[in-house]
Structure 1
């Protein structure tokens, strides 16, 4: 196996691990310092290679850790949105931004793609309802306290904004910037499976959360990753994601407004 492929695979796996850990240890200064150090090391290791996708992913992951340290704006989804924006700016200055078109596009739609979107959406709704009713699924404390501390119209507006933005940000991170180098150095099925595993682990403290949440989110990510590779773009993945987020909002926000 050529040395470039070996390096690409090692870096891509390291980035998935770092990407999965960041939401779990969000706001941790020691982890942010380690992540920055690892990012510098990986960047130096790839310096002589044409590995634009991996280099941008390194910048993104490091920024996710760093931005999460900033009070007020480091919380999801504002912190990751800033990290993506800064990554795009750096990529543009380095002449790599055009490579983002490989994933940041609508993609090809046909009957099978639409049917898959519908199936993924239906599975998402059923799985989330089971998570709430059988496993007593709830919002993380930070978000439930935030929703309960503001007026109902503000909470509803924030929830709707979350529904629109969360899928775009989460998909851009995992199925855009992190999956793209994986697809360069691994077979598609392996790349999607490993990315889905990272996506699931990232939800340990998310929605859905816990071990059950990890399993649900990881399985769901397999379907989202399939849509990404099947259509060659992000719109199908995003549409399925919006349905799931809308279900989360409809299930978990109304009870908080009556408290």
Structure 2
């Protein structure tokens, strides 16, 4: 292959999805949000759903997804994205409807909305970014903050007697009758990025095929909140987050039913 052929856009290993616009991302260096945005945009394009997607963003760092991915967005009140998504999907069942939420939004302020939408089996997909901290508002303790982990509101580390235990929301989701696909992934390596993309694709396809509710948790880093460099944050995540939040599929009834 000649040098000219190598540098042609069609021969590049990475091609930016057309749904991902040119707005400069505000995320901190090393943040997982940008990678997940790219995967979401790629999957929507590959499914040919560019003009039939409605996404719901709530509050927190996740809210800015509407600045970068060129699909129709609805902004929901803090924690209420699954309720809004439920209404939109029922009104327009032919639309691809998903929420994009952080752990503070989904697993704390929106616990009720999230659990009940999943339990009802709403034909929506929820993308759940879990970095174990409130990233936007100053690094406070979240429901997913690990035991002993230091944050702005537990500077000596999370203690069970004082703060309670970390919430494994994805395990709760897997136990609900209305969920068809529940998985926990990450985007810290090339291999993990590929797995996460497949998970998002499966969740979106389940939504369009009326299989029930899907939840894709992405265990992520928050370099600013954790006060670590991107490299050290990834290592800390591997050493600590994955022990409590192990990666892999927790539930996949849609695939199991298809095989019969």
Q: What is the TM-score normalised by the length of structure 2?
A: 0.33
* Larger proportion of strand: 2
TM-score of the pair, normalised by structure 1? 0.33
Higher helix share: 1
Structure having greater relative contact order (Cα 8 Å, sep ≥ 6): 1
